[in-house]
Amino acid sequence: MRTLLLAGCIGLLALSTEPSAQSGLSGNWAMLFNTPMGTVDAAAAIKVDGDKLSGTMSSQAGEVQFTGTVKGTTFTINFDVQTPNGNVSITMNGEQNGDELKGTFDFGQGTGDWSGKRKS
């Protein structure tokens, strides 16, 4: 009986861990993109609603809105940037580890890596 109760408690703890990690992604983040043209600083404001995320990404080039999905500590963000050469679609894949983010991005003509830290 005691073993069954302990197993049930561990199961509930495991179920409560994933939504906490997801909601932990919500907030303001300082981002750093390593691009073929050098590093780019940006800021992201992320909102999580279940397995969906949304928000804004801003840099010296302007601000864009994004959407994406989250599962546990991994997530994907998609947004479009208007450039002098036309529209560019960007996909970011990342992982959250506490107050730090890291991942890769693909802008169709190349890839790079990025990192982020939670803003206080």
Q: Is the pLDDT of residue 119 over 70?
A: yes
Tokens of 19: 């939504």
Residue 116: band (very low, low, confident or very high) from pLDDT cuts 50, 70, 90: very high
Provide the domain limits for residue 111.
2-118
Mean predicted confidence (pLDDT) in 80-100: 93
Higher pLDDT, 34 or 13: 34
How many angstroms separate the CA atoms of 1 and 20, rounded?
A: 29
- Whichever domain contains 70, its CATH number is 2.40.128.120
Structurally, the chain folds into a number of domains equal to 1
Q: Is the pLDDT of residue 14 over 90?
A: no
CB atoms within 10 A of CB 29: 22
Residue 9: band (very low, low, confident or very high) from pLDDT cuts 50, 70, 90: very low
Q: Determine the pLDDT at residue 66.
A: 98
pTM of this prediction exceeds 0.85:
no
Q: Is the pLDDT of residue 11 over 90?
A: no
